Structure 1
């Protein structure tokens, strides 16, 4: 029963992650932490293991989604590589830092991060992107992209969220790229940040293999499903649901972190 619940969790988190370019870790990590406290029969998992397992699972989400977006010819790899130059070292630093963060502090910080992400998603819904390639070139500065990538990579490695949930609002609000460019680009970034973060967490022994094996099948098909739904479902409605879920999970994590 628990195995099938985890398969479903992997599918749902990957579908939302691929559909909106979020990666899925921002939903997967808090739910994993919640399951270990709410269901006695579920194996206990530490915050570091939740982060490492989430990043490992997101490799398969990213591969599935990027493969689908590549077939649809929607990937802008040239722009994504600019951010990866900062994300990779940032992810390694964040992963190293996660080992010294206490459980209560982890939940508290993660809760506040989710509230920030919810606010960024609100900005996404109310920001009109630039229309032309010329304007995008003027806005995108290499140094800024590398700096942003380092910050996002650090938070990705620390919390196991892949980085897409942060890159999406940054690319839309700050760099003002069109949505059709942003979502596939974010999933490409998630793939490589997850590879780096999961490798570092693997060395540190932070991957819970029982959870990973249960989550991967759902994550693979969820990544495909999200990419397929990307141009078939209105994202505004999904963003409303996502924001509600994020706020509820954030409040739960903050409560657990404080008490």
Structure 2
């Protein structure tokens, strides 16, 4: 793998900073934004961009997660339950990737995103809301992580875009707890995914290091800004990001169907 040029290092640093800010602000991995930017601005192949993104988000998830944790906005039990499901689900998704037609699943997921985008404008969680701890809730959290991991493996979407709205709407978490818990959940997923991608040579570790360092610088800032944004406007901003993700997926799907 060739040594990155100074211009590409600068571009990577800028993209990493943007990813880190989004990660801290919304509790997502940022891959839904970073992957297309790596392809567009630096000419990465899709698989290499996805693998590099998974590795790059690790420092930002750690730093951003700690930022939310220090502020008391992480549900550690929920994060562990989700992580347990995500680790297994990601392996299942990767296994099924070349074996299962994903067309219907992709449309189903886009429908889910569309519902969430609309709901975020009308359903506003309370800042002091917490996840109720029962055996059933823990089991459902593991299942949520499992489904999230499968979707991530099959569709290449980050876990945060699924987990954050699900924690708010179905488990009664506040927006801040949902974001902080999501970031903690991403840590083991990033480690597991990077190990697998390294074996398949689907990751540029030099680029990931630059992206990750830049992302980790701005991730705490994103988590601090999130606490100062009212829940409604936080929902509005998150809905716009999800609308971008939805539009991106819709464009790729229609383009693929047109060329096939």
The TM-score with structure 1 as length reference comes to 0.80
3-state SS in 2 of match to 1:166:
helix
Which of 226-235 and 116-125 deviates more? 116-125
Aligned residues: 248
Which of 110-119 and 193-202 deviates more? 110-119
Contact 1:22–1:165 under 8 Å retained in 2: yes
CA distance in 2, matches of 1:3, 1:132: 42
1:108–1:26 distance in 2 versus 1, CA, 3 Å: farther
Pair 1:170-2:176 in alignment: no
Q: Offset at 1:30?
A: 2.9
3-state SS in 1 of match to 2:37:
helix
**Which whole-Å deviations, capped at 9, do the CAs of 1:137-187 have from their partners, x for residues lacking one?**
369523222222111012223444441111011111121222232111111
After superposition, where does 1:135-214 map in structure 2 within 5 Å?
136-137=132-133, 141-214=137-210
Task: Please name the residue that 1:61 is paired with.
Answer: 60
Q: Offset at 1:232?
A: 2.1
Task: Please name the residue that 2:49 is paired with.
Answer: 50
Structure 2: state its 5+ residue gaps.
1-6
3-state SS in 1 of match to 2:23:
helix
1:243–1:79 distance in 2 versus 1, CA, 3 Å: closer
Contact 1:17–1:24 under 8 Å retained in 2: yes
Task: Please name the residue that 2:214 is paired with.
Answer: 218
CA distance in 2, matches of 1:18, 1:84: 18
Q: CA RMSD in A?
A: 3.1
Q: Offset at 1:73?
A: 2.7
3-state SS in 2 of match to 1:29:
helix
CA distance in 2, matches of 1:9, 1:108: 32
Q: Offset at 1:75?
A: 1.9
Contact 1:115–1:250 under 8 Å retained in 2: no
Contact 1:112–1:254 under 8 Å retained in 2: no
1:117–1:222 distance in 2 versus 1, CA, 3 Å: farther
Pair 1:5-2:27 in alignment: no
Q: Offset at 1:113?
A: 4.3
1:23–1:122 distance in 2 versus 1, CA, 3 Å: farther
The TM-score with structure 2 as length reference comes to 0.80
1:17–1:86 distance in 2 versus 1, CA, 3 Å: same
Task: Please name the residue that 2:36 is paired with.
Answer: 30
Pair 1:17-2:23 in alignment: yes
Which of 234-243 and 71-80 deviates more? 234-243
Aligned partner of 1:117 among 113, 132, 135: 113
Q: Offset at 1:108?
A: 10
3-state SS in 2 of match to 1:141:
helix
